[in-house]
Amino acid sequence: MIVPTGVGAAIGGYAGDALPVARVLASVVDCFISHPNVMNAAMLYWPIPNALYVEGYALDRFAEGSWGLQPVHQNKVGLVLDSGMEEELRIRHLQVADAARASLGLPVVEYILTDAPLEVEIWIDPAYGKSTGRIGNPGSLLRAVDSLVKRSKVNAVAVVGRFPDDDIEGAEDYRQGKGVDVVAGVEAIISHLVVKEFQIPCAHAPALLPPPLTRSLSPKSAAEEIGYTFLPCVLAGLSRAPQYVVDRSRGTAEDARCILGSDVDSVVLPIDACGGEAAVALARRSSNKALVIAVEENTTVMDDTPEKLGIDAMKVSNYWEAVGVVAAHRAGVDPRALRRRGVDPIRCLSALQVPPLSLFLRGDVNAGELNVHG
């Protein structure tokens, strides 16, 4: 299940509002694979036993076949805190880490402060309308992760960057369940940077001061208003996120008996967000193509429809229908057979204009010989 980050998805573009869909889809499949944007709900989360929590960059590499996914019982999670955050915010995040360790038993082993503020900047891309941004000190982030990996032997990393609070264009619309999540784009940039460099699971939680209390708040955004941090869901997801098997030599992924992109039977995504690397790779693989299910009710600011990309997709009106299609596909049933007049009369092969048999047979009957040429 894919819902791209920071593109204003009607479902999955807010504070974990695609998590109910994830729970239902996971109940009708053997293995459910998705990414933090779908699974994270700030202070809220939901344990799904058969779910694999895969960061977006790793999901692309998995879908194209260069990385495999190795399920684990438990990861050793390290925590990177932006040194640019205020002391009170730092204490709040450390309290969340301790609460996760004591109340949930999560293996958050050590934390580190970056040696320089990350200097996060965020904005809306004027060309596409999606959120994006940059970090001023990427080297500071990478050095912090490197220290945790080498000294603390962690194999998953949670990052908390200090994000700007004031004058965030569109922030109020987001609280009302409209528009684009303005912080999501640069969150993806941060996690992509770490995963590309270290090939381990990573997810990000923004550090922000609590917004003023409002009586007018969309339920879709409410999960981000009930606490001081967005870190709980990240720690829960990373604690059992699959490790990435980087197939640098032929056979590595297969030898590890991990899950490969070629194992994916179906992919569910918004109707106009089919242009991501993972979606395209799964839809266009040379053999055993995945069934692409495009949900019309889930729209985004993008315009990457199956038709424009030449992707053969089954369109469904909503996620209710998507669940039914996935269940039918798993059962080996043509989903169209579940619809009234969903199956047309079988077509006749004669439309292919097969040449008459006489053109293929030539023989000398008197000589008792028959030669067959084809």
pLDDT value, residue 213:
87
pLDDT value, residue 212:
84
Q: Is the predicted pLDDT of residue 142 greater than 90, yes or no?
A: yes
Residue pair 142/109 in contact by the 8 Å Cβ criterion? no
Model pLDDT for residues 123-139, shown as the tens digit of each residue? 999 888 999 999 999 99
Per-domain residue ranges for the chain?
19-246
Min mean pLDDT across 213-217, 246-250, 263-267, 342-346 is at: 246-250
pLDDT value, residue 293:
98
Sign for the CA dihedral angle at 180, 185, 186, 188 comes to: positive
Query: Between β-strands 67-70 and 243-246, what pairing exists: parallel, antiparallel or unpaired?
Result: antiparallel
Measured CA to CA, the distance from residue 203 to residue 42 in angstroms comes to 12
Query: Between β-strands 243-246 and 266-270, what pairing exists: parallel, antiparallel or unpaired?
Result: unpaired
Residue pair 229/92 in contact by the 8 Å Cβ criterion? yes
Model pLDDT for residues 14-32, shown as the tens digit of each residue? 999 999 999 999 999 999 9
Provide the β-strand partners of residue 53.
34
Model pLDDT for residues 281-339, shown as the tens digit of each residue? 999 987 888 999 999 999 999 999 999 999 999 999 999 999 999 999 999 999 999 99
Residue 327 CB neighbour total at 10 angstroms: 16
Which range, 79-93, 234-248, 279-293, is most confident?
79-93
